[in-house]
């Protein structure tokens, strides 16, 4: 049994599931059973129903088999009693046969093992068996001859065994084996044949006794055996077919599940079952499809997330660089190019920026030095739009441009650049700031391999970040410049405030001009300065205020007379604009104070005229030791100080004029007071006398006057009173000016005022 099982298992691979081992040679159906297995598998019934049908079929066959067996046993029972006697006889002969077989087996074993003890035991048993044959009593006459032959063969066998035993004891093994083969084994075969003949003879007698029942018994036995064999075969067949219809799908499902576990979602389970296994296989296929889709989605999503993570990491790095290196645009651009080349799987990359009207490479990665030298020496003008190059197309179209193979593009004209750069595929993205092109982001590959839409979108993202970086740098520089301008403006305003304060707080022209020239020198970052005042009477410029100059230089400058015809300070007012000499050492024309200024160590000089409408006031001059042109901002600043100087000089002049006018007003006031005093004494007294005499005449003290004379005297009297009222009013005004008249609120007559007015008229 062990060897049989081993051979079965070794004949093919095995399949194990749930602790049960199926031989491959047994589980593979042949062409006949294949149809049955498929038919059972396609039955639209559950596995439980199929197993129940098979079990009920086997039970039914067993019931039929039991009924037939009972019928046969009933007939056989009648013959049993008559066969008992013959059975005893046959049993005796069979015992002889059994004993003979046992003795022969023992002898063969002893001879085979050549064991002396076993040989002795076998000889004793053999001798004892011979004695038993001699004592057999119920032997038929026909069997006596055969029994005698049996005894003779036993004697020969005993003699041969004895001889072999002696040879074995003597150590003559080869001879013992030869005797065993030549004598003992043939004798044993004959003895076995004789015992069989003896049994057959006894059984022949028994056959004669049961000959009458042989036919019926044989038929019954055939029926029983047929039913038994049929039941067994049916049970085995049903078990085989049903088990195979279950095992094969399970194997396929298990294999498929192993493939799914290994990550293979392409295969499918082909199962014809219409039971639970078919449903399970369909579910496995559906699950496999879903897992395949999910796995593909996960792979795609993982790749996308990985790319997105790399992009986010690169973006974060770029933003970090942008935030940390706002003042260093080159670091930001280099980081952008490096990240774009790495994430887009490009070979080389660069950024072209619009600088001073031309497009120049400001950052490159991967290009040989010869390429950078060529493009630096041959920048692309801003107006050079065209299809001859990728950058030119971007300039023309204002959108992203990809040339899959520059050697196959008939419009590409700058093959020298492609050869120097070592690329075939070009991707160029515009850097747009509010619609204006400020640069181009360029990615290249050495082989003709187009960039994917994701890579193009990524390059556009990096292009936007490059625009942000460039704009941030520009804004940062603008803010820095504006900050410097504001700081300078604040300083200027503070200085102008101090100058204005000085102008408004004092009328001392020297103090004001010294303040102005000091602030002008400080804010213009020069070393010394002088304010010249122009004398219209002498037609000359004379220094009035100095700052940062030695006493010797001040004395030397003061000794020189500068007129309108002299170059520099003299002709600046005539030009009505500032005049500067960036380097006196290189100045070929000569003018006054040039040598004096050079000897003092000054090289640059700026002259700002002090002008009023149609009038020259003077000049503001600043000097510095370092040569070079003065900035426009410095010129404007000094023009402001020049205007302040004009105001200060004009204020001083007006102050002098006011002082002169004050003196004149004081003299006029004295004359007025003297006039009023004279008028009060010289006019009012005679006028009162005239009024008194005219009143006497009107009253007729000196006699009655004619009507005409009387009317004339009355007119003289009225005019005199009017004149007296005017004199009194003038005196009242004088008292008001002197603060000696007290005003009081009183009632007055409007009619009287009207009459007085008419009278005055």
For the stretch 477-490, pLDDT in tens is: 888 887 777 776 66
The tokens describing 343, both together, are: 């994430």
Count of domains forming the chain? 4
* Reported confidence tier of residue 241, pLDDT bands at 50, 70, 90: low
476 and 516 both lie in a single domain: no
| pLDDT at position 621 over 80 | yes
Ranges 316-330, 341-355, 593-607, 624-638, most confident: 341-355
516 and 637 both lie in a single domain: yes
Say if 346 falls within a structural domain.
Answer: yes
The residue-averaged pLDDT of 659-686 equals 75
From the list 346, 351, 352, the residue with the least C-alpha distance to 335 is 351
526 and 622 both lie in a single domain: yes
Look at residue 350 in the predicted model and tell me its pLDDT.
92
CATH of the domain at 156: 1.20.120
Asked if residues 579 and 604 have their Cβ atoms less than 8 Å apart, the reply is no
Q: Which residue has the higher pLDDT, 274 or 81?
A: 81
| pLDDT at position 29 over 50 | no
The CA angle 380-382-385, to the nearest 5 degrees, is 80
- Which of 648, 667, 699 is the last residue before a domain boundary? 648
Asked if residues 388 and 360 have their Cβ atoms less than 8 Å apart, the reply is no
Say if 152 falls within a structural domain.
Answer: yes
199 and 145 both lie in a single domain: yes
pTM score over 0.75: no
From the list 158, 147, 97, the residue with the least C-alpha distance to 122 is 158
Say if 139 falls within a structural domain.
Answer: yes
Q: How far apart are CA 607 and CA 516, in angstroms?
A: 15
621 and 687 both lie in a single domain: no
pLDDT, tens digit (0-9, with 9 covering 90-100), for 407-431: 888 888 777 777 778 888 999 999 9
201 and 53 both lie in a single domain: yes
518 and 475 both lie in a single domain: no
Q: How far apart are CA 252 and CA 260, in angstroms?
A: 12
| pLDDT at position 336 over 60 | yes
Q: How far apart are CA 601 and CA 597, in angstroms?
A: 7
637 and 687 both lie in a single domain: no
233, HSE (Cβ side, Cα atoms, 13 Å): 6
CATH of the domain at 552: 3.30.450.40
Least confident piece of the model among 288-302, 631-645, 747-761: 747-761
The tokens describing 653, both together, are: 């002049």
591 and 522 both lie in a single domain: yes
Say if 184 falls within a structural domain.
Answer: yes
The tokens describing 397, both together, are: 């179209």
DSSP string computed for 211-253: HHHHHHHHHHHHHHHHHHHHHHHHHHHHHHHHHHHHHHHHHHH
* Reported confidence tier of residue 130, pLDDT bands at 50, 70, 90: low
* Reported confidence tier of residue 502, pLDDT bands at 50, 70, 90: low
Computed over every residue of the chain, the mean pLDDT equals 75
Ranges 17-21, 441-445, 575-579, most confident: 441-445
Say if 199 falls within a structural domain.
Answer: yes
- Which of 648, 666, 699 is the last residue before a domain boundary? 648
Least confident piece of the model among 69-83, 361-375, 425-439, 609-623: 69-83
Say if 218 falls within a structural domain.
Answer: no
521 and 611 both lie in a single domain: yes
Look at residue 216 in the predicted model and tell me its pLDDT.
61
525 and 636 both lie in a single domain: yes
Say if 308 falls within a structural domain.
Answer: no
| pLDDT at position 687 over 80 | no
695 and 642 both lie in a single domain: no
Least confident piece of the model among 190-194, 219-223, 465-469, 610-614: 219-223
The residue-averaged pLDDT of 385-406 equals 86
pLDDT, tens digit (0-9, with 9 covering 90-100), for 636-647: 878 887 777 777
Asked if residues 527 and 624 have their Cβ atoms less than 8 Å apart, the reply is yes
Asked if residues 124 and 151 have their Cβ atoms less than 8 Å apart, the reply is no
Look at residue 214 in the predicted model and tell me its pLDDT.
67
Q: How far apart are CA 525 and CA 652, in angstroms?
A: 28
| pLDDT at position 459 over 60 | yes
| pLDDT at position 229 over 50 | yes
Say if 116 falls within a structural domain.
Answer: yes
Length of the chain: 761
Q: Is 587 helix (H, G, I), strand (E, B) or coil?
A: coil
Q: How far apart are CA 659 and CA 759, in angstroms?
A: 43
Domain that holds residue 205: 49-209
The residue-averaged pLDDT of 198-206 equals 75
- Which of 445, 480, 515 is the last residue before a domain boundary? 480
């Amino acid at each position: 049994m062990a060897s049989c099982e081993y051979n079965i298992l070794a004949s093919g691979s095995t399949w194990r599931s749930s602790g049960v081992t199926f031989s491959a040679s047994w589980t593979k159906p042949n062409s006949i059973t294949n149809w049955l297995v498929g038919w059972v598998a396609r039955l639209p019934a559950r596995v439980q129903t199929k197993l129940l049908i098979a079990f009920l079929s086997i039970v039914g066959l067993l019931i039929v088999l039991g009924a037939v067996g009972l019928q046969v046993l009933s007939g056989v029972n009648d013959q049993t009693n008559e066969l008992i006697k013959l059975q005893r006889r046959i049993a005796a002969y069979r015992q002889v046969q059994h004993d003979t077989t046992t003795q022969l087996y023992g002898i063969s074993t002893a001879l085979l093992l050549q064991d002396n003890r076993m040989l002795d035991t076998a000889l004793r048993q053999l001798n004892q068996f011979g004695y038993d044959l001699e004592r057999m009593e119920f032997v038929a006459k026909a069997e006596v001859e055969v029994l005698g032959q049996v005894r003779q063969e036993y004697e020969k066998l005993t003699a041969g065994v004895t001889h072999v035993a002696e040879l074995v004891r003597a150590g003559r093994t080869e001879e013992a084996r030869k005797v065993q083969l030549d004598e003992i084994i043939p004798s044993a075969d004959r003895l076995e044949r004789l015992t069989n003949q003896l049994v057959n003879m006894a059984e022949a007698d028994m056959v004669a006794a049961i000959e009458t029942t042989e036919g019926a018994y044989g038929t019954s036995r055939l029926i029983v055996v047929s039913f038994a064999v049929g039941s067994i075969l049916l049970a085995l067949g049903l078990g085989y077919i049903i088990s195979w219809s279950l095992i094969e799908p399970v194997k396929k499902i298990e294999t498929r599940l192993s493939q799914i576990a290994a990550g293979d979602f392409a295969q499918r389970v082909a199962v014809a079952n219409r039971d639970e296994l078919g449903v399970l296989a369909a579910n496995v296929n559906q699950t496999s499809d879903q897992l395949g889709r999910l796995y593909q989605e996960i792979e795609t999503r993982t790749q996308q997330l990985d790319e997105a993570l790399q992009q986010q990491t690169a973006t974060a790095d770029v933003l970090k660089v942008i935030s940390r290196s706002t003042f260093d645009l080159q670091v930001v651009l280099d980081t952008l190019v490096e990240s774009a080349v790495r994430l887009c799987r490009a070979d080389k990359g660069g950024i072209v920026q619009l600088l001073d009207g031309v497009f120049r490479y400001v950052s490159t990665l991967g290009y040989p030095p010869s390429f950078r030298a060529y493009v630096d020496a041959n920048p692309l003008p801003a107006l050079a739009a065209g299809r001859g190059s990728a950058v030119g197309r971007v300039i023309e179209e204002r959108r992203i441009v990809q040339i899959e193979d520059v050697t196959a593009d008939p419009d590409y004209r700058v093959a020298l650049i492609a050869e120097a750069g070592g690329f075939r595929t070009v991707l160029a993205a515009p850097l747009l700031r509010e619609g204006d092109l400020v640069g181009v982001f360029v990615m290249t590959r050495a082989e003709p391999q187009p960039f994917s839409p994701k890579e193009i979108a990524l390059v556009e993202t990096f292009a936007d970040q490059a625009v942000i970086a460039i704009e941030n740098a520009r804004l940062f520089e603008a803010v820095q410049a504006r900050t410097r301008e504001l700081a300078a403006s604040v300083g200027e305003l503070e200085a102008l405030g101090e100058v204005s304060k000085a102008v408004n707080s004092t009328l001392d022209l020297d103090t004001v001009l010294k303040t102005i020239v000091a602030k002008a020198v400080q804010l213009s970052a020069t070393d010394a300065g002088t304010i010249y005042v122009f004398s219209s009477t002498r037609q000359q410029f004379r220094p009035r205020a100095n700052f940062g100059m030695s006493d010797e230089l001040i004395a030397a400058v003061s000794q020189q007379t500068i007129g309108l015809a002299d170059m520099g300070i003299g002709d600046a007012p005539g030009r009505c604009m500032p005049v500067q000499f960036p380097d006196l050492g290189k100045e070929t024309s000569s003018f006054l104070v040039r040598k004096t200024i050079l000897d003092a160590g000054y090289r640059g000089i700026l002259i700002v005229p002090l002008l009023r409408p149609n009038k020259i006031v003077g000049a503001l001059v600043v000097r510095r030791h370092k040569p070079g042109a003065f900035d426009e901002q410095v010129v404007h600043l000094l023009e402001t100080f020049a205007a302040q100087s004009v105001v200060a000089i004009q204020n001083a002049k007006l102050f002098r004029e006011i002082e002169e006018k004050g003196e004149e007003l004081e003299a006029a006031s004295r004359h007025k007071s003297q006039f009023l005093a004279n008028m009060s004494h010289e006019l009012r007294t005679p006028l009162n006398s005239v009024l008194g005499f005219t009143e006497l005449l009107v009253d007729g003290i000196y006699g009655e006057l004619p009507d005409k004379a009387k009317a004339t005297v009355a007119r003289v009297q009225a005019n005199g009173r009017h004149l007296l009222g005017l004199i009194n009013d003038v005196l009242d005004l004088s008292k008001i000016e002197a603060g000696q008249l007290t005003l009081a609120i009183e009632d007055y007559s409007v009619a009287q005022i009207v009459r007085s007015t008419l009278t005055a008229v």
